[in-house]
Structures are given as structure tokens and as C-alpha cells.
Structure 1
Amino acid sequence: MPLDVPTAQNSTSVLETFARVRGDSEALARPLSPEDCMIQSMEAASPVKWHLAHTSWFFETFILGPHAKDHTPFHPEFGYLFNSYYNQIGEMHQRAKRGMLSRPSLDKVLAYRSFVNEALIRLIENADDETLAVIEPLVLLGCSHEQQHQELLITDLQHGLFQNALKPAVYTDARAGEGGNAPALKWREMEGGVCNIGWNGEGFAFDNEQPRHKVYLHPFELANRPVTNGEYIAFIEDGGYQDPVHWLSDAWEVINREHWDAPLYWRKSEADNQWYRYSLFGEVPIDPHAPVCHVSSYEAAAYASWVGARLPTEFEWEAAASLFPLEGRFLEGGAPFLPKSAENPANDDSLLQLYGDVWEWTASPYVAYPGFAAPPGAVGEYNGKFMSGQMVLKGGSCATPRGHLRVSYRNFFPPEARWQFSGFRLARDCN
């Protein structure tokens, strides 16, 4: 199992969690048209309709099929259509062609969700204690899996609608992105030494956050907040995208091949010489005080080089973040989907916006912790097989459900990925 939770769960609380998470997904899709829910803008993204169906497939495949007596699948082909990457389960529809699935209709997918909901609730309500001890951890895994897809639903939708010449707005509370002036950038010195890294054993965790282990950190300094849009604009205007000295070799090849000259969704207006970005509130002016967002690991590292700093390792980030409460702007904030500036700190030692607003790229490759072993069976394909060619991000974003995060949480994407709400903060070695 890729999780470890107390076995004495209360079935009522598990059902409440299940109902809330399932309802949250449908609430995110409610303002959308069926056409909105079908678009797929690139292979790495999936249609909203597919996310809604795949998360139901997960519950049906890993819980209802094995554990509900006489369960009959909702549709004989849905196991093929909505499998994502679980090779041990069987063949799957091509990822790049998910946007071709005009059928099943959105109504049919929502009916599938209702079918799965009713069957799973019935299973839990009628299960004995022995069965509950087996399926409740799987339900919590499925809920956390669905929360991951809630964020992907938002980021994939934004990337798809960005291709639309109308630059449509699908949510209405644009004020959620307003903020004040960013605090001055300051450095907090961290002593280093031997630190405990990974899941501390409380509540839910994925397998890739385990086992907890010790690492040695040299003394370092960490910036008190993420890099802002205004600071990143200075990098752009100084010719940062044209100077190869700051870019890794692979990065230089990517930015020239893809003609990158600014973060994703940005454009500079010739009419007023101002920067704008596309969001799910439509196109809005760039807030210079908000954290820069939708940048790749390559761009984050290049900016860090330009200012004479570096990105923190995931271990440095986690050691520092463990000193602060898990507070920030998350998905529950009422459809924010726009990062905003940090508030002025209560004291000079504060590290701001560690959680929420933007995921923070680290300098660490996504690899296994010492002693890691993928769980047996198909569910073991969840994380372990992706431990190659990816970089770790920490902290969550304004599109991440609050209850989904822990200081030990490890997100991961390829270094060129930038359609997520990804930003960064700086680190440097102590002299």
C-alpha cells in the first residue's frame, strides 16, 4: 500500500471525506460547458471529462471490483478508456487521444460518478470491521488521488482555454488575486546539521514520502519569500532569455526550440507597454508583487544564476518549512487561481508563502528515499515508476486542496513543465 494510516478509522468520517472530495470535483466543473470539458491541448494534459471519469475508475477498479460482492462495472469499456498508466490492470486508451472521446457524453460520465458513489457508500455501510480495515485506507488513497486530479483539472483546463482566441473567463472572483506590496527580500540563515526528512507517521502519506530518514545539510540561507513577477520582469528585460551563460544545456535547447521569452500565459502589450497574463478569470494585468508563476525548473534555475543564487534542495526546503505552520492560500479559498503577494511578516525571521500560492521548484531530482520499496500489485505503480527525469516541487499552490498537503509532500514534474502553478524561492550557501 502506498500509504500508512491508522486502522481505527471511523467509517462515518471516511464517508464524509469521500462525499466532500467527490462533490468538490463536480463543483469545479459546474461552471463549464460540455465543450469546455472535452478539450485536450497537449499530451501532458487531460480533458475535464476524463479527470471526472478516471477518478471514478480508480475507486471502481481498486475498491469496488475486488471488494464489493457481485459488483458489475458501469460500462464494459470504461476500464480501457479511463485507465491512466496502470499496466498491470490492462490496456488503455492512448493518452494523447483523450480529447477525441466525444462519447461517453458528460452526462454519462456524471452518471458514472453517481453509480460509483452509491456503490462505494453501500459497500462501506454494509462492511464488517475486517473488511473496513482493508478498504478504508484505499478510500483515503482514492480521495487523495482525486484531490491531485482536482488541481490537474484546473491547470489542464487553463492550458486548453489559453488556446482560445477569445481568452475566456470561466470563474468570476478575480479579486482573489489582488494583494499589496511584496515584503523586501531578506535571507534567513539555517544552521544545517542532521535533519529528519520524510513523513512523520501522522495521518495519510504517499509511499514516495517514505521512509523517514536523516540527511546532513550544510549551513545555508533561504529567501523569506518566493521571487515576484516584478523581479522576474527585470530578468526578462535584462536579456535573461537571450544570454546562454545562465542556462543549462538542455534548457537552452528547449527555450530556443519553443521560442520562450517569458513565463507561460504572459504577453506584453504594444499598446500600453504592460505585461498581461491569461488566467481562468480571463486576461489580467501582471501583479508585480505576486509570486512569479508558470515557470519551468529551467527558468527558475536560470533566474537564480542571474542573481548569483541557486534553488534550494528539497531537503533544505523541508527542513526550513517544518519550522512553520501549514498555512496559505489554497483551493478552498474560493477559486483563487491567482497567486498574490505575501503579507508583511510579524518578524524578520519569518519565511513567507511556504505553502499555497505557488509550488516551489527545488534543485532535487525526484528519486527514491533510502529504503523505499514500491508496494506490490498495480497500486504500486502510483509513484515509484516515475522516479526518473523529474524534479521535486514543494509547498502546494492556490489550486491545491488544503487537506491534501504535508511538509513531506513531494510533487514532481519534468524540468520543462510550466503549466502548473509553479514558482520558486532562492537559496544560497553561507560564506
Structure 2
Amino acid sequence: MKRVALYGLVPVAVLLALAIATVVWLNLRGEDPLPDGPVAFDSSPAQVERGRYLALAGNCAGCHSIRGGAAYAGGLGIATPFGTLYTSNLTPDPTHGIGNWNAAHFWRALHNGRSKDGRLLYPAFPYTSFTAVTRADSDAIYAYLRTVPADATPNKASKLRFPYDTQAALAVWRALFFTPAPFIADRTQSAEWNRGAYLVGGLGHCIACHGSRNALGATEDRRGLSGGLIPVENWYAPSLGSPREAGVAHWDRQQVIQLLKTGSTAQASVIGPMAAVVFRSTQYLSDADLGAMATYLQQLPEDPAPARPDPVRTPSLRRDAGTMARGEGIYAQRCAYCHGDAGQGAVGAYPPLAGNRAVTMDSAVNLMQMVRHGGFLPATAGNPRPYGMPPFGHVLDDGQIADVLSYVRGAWGNDAAPVSRRDMMHR
């Protein structure tokens, strides 16, 4: 009987060994062998300057710096549904930074998601997008980082729940959801379109926010930039392919460039996490690169329109008169001074609320965040002293915020679903 049982375990052991071998192979595919010994790396001023520009395009300092700390010294906590990850020190400090890395180590981190010591990196460092970065651009960023002041800030250990804190679990995740792949130009498209695709999909890693994620935190690439809730932060990054959300297919191209350059146009303004992206990154990009991004974004496939709702259940027929009356009173007292009695806003200062798709899109999450916490547009060269929104979370409770948002989403021709107290409790 023991021999039979032993023989029965053999197929299980073989399958387990094959599974482990497959995971290992999937994690090693696409890797070039690292050179042995010291590697000379001579950079020119032009390469360093290009690296500085590319680091801005990738918003590297935005994650690898903390307020009041040294640039690129890391330490920023990134909250995820699985725990908190801390960004690493990218300065040329030889002990705590990347001072003893060579260009091949840096390239492997970007392209393969693997550290100098071979450790698998967590995808909070968006190597799933950075894998598309060219070796030449990787070398330029590396050349630039070698010139920033070295800082001895030690790296913080991440605080993830078991089993997410294990290399084995990360290896399985990568085997399922990550394939190293260079950027391949689409020969049916223009050079400008391909440049935009490279910036949006690679260095810009726009899908990290504007893509949806599965239960294990992997971006669903097949859905593209169709929008998604940013985990833990509770901001909704709207779809870049939907004219009802943040699609720009029908905009004037110069308006798209202006939005990325200044954070504000006559049609829209950026808030929340996107304001930080404009402030730290896109405002510094050349008009040529912003134009390439605009060309690419304007040609994204349009998200399919939702099915027409049952006319008996349209939002306009589901409005509660008491809610609308309470919301109107709060609006008149707290909001009308800036946004106007009819939600018309003020040109160059306060955005209109009537007909504003940021107000009427299906998700009201961003509106809740703005009313609770307030916020500013990014300060940019084209808009150096932007007007801001004060927080009201300390003077309005969840029910009152739900009432005023329901009013704004249903007044002046707006026709979006009301917001309930229950909605507020879940955000």
C-alpha cells in the first residue's frame, strides 16, 4: 500500500516540478546576460541632459522623492490593497542608492523588473510599462541619475501581507501578467503617432492610472486606457477613449497640448493625481512630444457607448424633490459665489459645472474627493497662480455632500445619477 501511495505521488511531484520550472523560465525570459566585472560608462553632457528630460517624462522624481527630502532619494510610501511599498533610493550613493550599479543593471530593472542582486521588483515600480523603454533612453536616464547629488537615505522595507511579501508569490504574478517586450513601431501609423504611443504607453505609464486592474492588481491591458479607480487613493482616472469622460478625439489638437502643458483649457482642467502629473512631468515636455501624445490620444479607439437606459428609469425621473431642494440650498450658500448661480463658472478662474463631463460622468468619486478635500490645479508656467477649491469636508457631512452633488449632477441640463449617503460611505 505504501508503494502504491508513493507511486501516486510521482505524477504530482512531476507536475509541481514542471510548474516551478515554467514559472522560473517565464521570469527569466527576455533577459540578456550581465557583463562580468566593472563596466566603463562614459556619458556626454547631451546624454545627461536627455536623461534629465526623460526622467521628467517618466515622472521619476514624483515617486522617488518625498517632500522635504533629497531628490531621487526614495522613501515615498505607496499604499496598495496588499500593503505599503516604499520607493527606492536612485541617487549614486554606493551603499543605499545605485552607485554600484552599471548601465546593464539599470536597464534590467526597467526592462525586466529585476534588481541588481537579481531580486524581483514589485510592479508598483511600473516596469510593466517601462519594459517598452529603449536601451538608449535607459542609458540616458542612468547617465543623468549618476549626476544627481548622492544621498545616504537608507531604503525602507516594504510592509506587505503574506503571501504578497514573498518572492515566490511575485514570481507567480509575473509569470501570469508580465512579459518583457520592447516598443515596436506600428508601420501603418506616422512617426508622430508612434512617438506618442511610446511616451503614453512607456515612459508616461498612463495605464497605471487610466487602466482597470484585476483582483491581483495587474492592469488589464486588453481594455487599454478605459479608466479605472486608483487603488486606495479613491480617485477615478477617467477613460481616455470615452467622449463622456476624458476622451479628446473631438478636441482641437492645440487644446490637448495646452491641457498637458498648463493643466487648464476652456474645456477642462486637471485635478487630483493628474494635477501632480502635469506639475511634475508633462508641463516640462516639448511641444513636439506633447503634440505626439495628443496625436496618439486623439486616435484611441472610442469606448462603446453604454446601452440606452430604460426611459422609465432615467436619472431625470429618479430625482427626489427633497434632495434637490436641500442640495440647491447648500449650493447657493457654499458654491454659487465661485461657480455661478446657473453653474456657469468664471472664465480663467472657476470651471463651469453645467455641461461639464467631469460632473456628469458615471463615477462621482472625484466630485466627492474635491468637495471633501478641495484641491488646486497645478502651478505651471502657463498658469502660475491657479485658483483652488477649498475643502468642505469639515463643514458638510456625508449626507449634505451627497445632496449638493445630486443637485449639481441634475441641474442646468445635467442629467447624471444622484449621489447617495451610501455612495459617500464607500469612498
Q: What TM-score results when the alignment is normalised by the length of structure 2?
A: 0.27
Greater share of residues in strand: 1
Which one has a bigger Cα radius of gyration? 2
Q: What TM-score results when the alignment is normalised by the length of structure 1?
A: 0.27
Greater share of residues in helix: 2
